Chains A and B, each alone.
Chain A
Amino acid sequence: MDAEAAKLIGAGIAMGAGAVGPGIGLGILLGKAYESMARQPEISGDIRTSMFIGIGVTEAVALYAFVVALILIFVA
């Protein structure tokens, strides 16, 4: 297998495997956030703010995998 094919396969594996963890993490985060908003609707504004922070931090992990995939395709 030549280098170009290996790079593309590596990029695919990087993005695919790298999206599993953040996907699960986002699901758990959002589930807990909705649960707590249902338990205490009066502070759902604060919960929503913290939820968005959590979403941003968790999705960043998936985007690290995306950057690795891009590096494999375009730079390496």
Chain B
Amino acid sequence: MMAKMKKAQSQTPAVESQSPAPVAPQPGQLQRRRMPRWAWLLLVVVVAGGLFLIPGGQREDLDVAAEFDLHPLVKIPAIGPIDLSITKGVVYLWIATAVLVVAAIVISRSLKPTPSRFQFAMESLYGLVREGIVNSVMKSGGDTWFPYIASVFFFVLTSNFVGLIPLPFAEHNQFGFYAATANLYVTIGLALFTFVFTHYAGIKKHGFFRYVKSWVPSSAPPVLKQLIFVIHVVSEFFRLVSLSVRLFANMLAGHAILGVFFAMALIFQNYLAALVLQGGSVFIYMFEIFVAFIQAFIFAILSAVYIGGALEQEH
């Protein structure tokens, strides 16, 4: 205690000398000498140089794009044009469904007044979807459409997160990364749900002709009305494309970048490069977690915007 106070007093002057003054040893205490700064620098240079110069291992061929190929795991003969064999994508979809269903059952059976951490996380996500997405965006049909928006949010979130866990479904049963939502067919299926529900909600509320008439402003010359109608129809279909491609391309690009970073740590057969790139891989992995959450949120909130827009259109 006395040695510490003395050291604090001797370090308060603004000018810090290159090598700090040695502390006078108290009787019965070990004398500790701080390593001067140049010694730390020399140690770092020696370690880095040594890691750089150690010869690396055998070069392997790393194919990043092969992660996205779908080979059938269990071959089931096709019915007509539909190939029913179970591939990696199918298994990942089942895993996401199973995780969601089990988590929901577990949580709903064990709700406590003082929430556990898992219950608190689930309640936060529920509050986010309820307040942040449905109640803040959809003016009228919030209660009717909340189950769909929440299902889509949780399913996309779970699929994206499961895609960040290495599971043994790659070739030859190796461990590999794959996201179910990195498959265009899966995201088109999800976007089709939103598309169909948008028009179903609009037609159910307004009737078919009034809904279609609400796409064009009523006070416009007929030629302009036809043009606006065509543009609106094209933009409705483009919403389908953009919703699906946004999620698909984000997950695909994220996994490709992850694959490249992980592979780069092995390509230069050099321990120093591997160490540095391993650190970079951790950061890009954290960014991918953020992107996974954001993409689920954006899919859900855009679905809510489209459905809410169809429900309230009164041009």
Contacts and interface: CB of A to CB of B under 8 A. Distances in A.
Given A49-B132, A74-B65, A66 B298 contact: no
Interface in A30-76: 46, 49, 52-53, 55-57, 59-60, 63-64, 66-67, 70, 74
Contacts, number: 43
Interface of B: 65, 132, 136, 242, 245-246, 248-250, 252-253, 294-295, 297-298, 301-302, 305
B250 A59 contact: yes
B302 to A, nearest CB: 7
Q: Which 9 A-B pairs have the closest CB atoms?
A: A56-B298, A63-B249, A60-B246, A67-B249, A66-B249, A60-B242, A66-B253, A53-B301, A49-B132
B249 A52 contact: no
Contact of A63 (B132, B136, B253): B253
Interface residues of A, number: 15
28 contacts: A52-B294, A52-B297, A52-B298, A53-B298, A53-B301, A55-B294, A55-B298, A56-B246, A56-B297, A56-B298, A56-B302, A57-B242, A57-B246, A57-B298, A57-B302, A59-B246, A60-B245, A60-B246, A60-B249, A63-B246, A63-B250, A64-B245, A64-B249, A66-B249, A67-B248, A67-B249, A70-B252, A74-B65
Contact of B245 (A52, A56, A67): A67
B294 A56 contact: yes
Contacts of A52: 294, 297-298
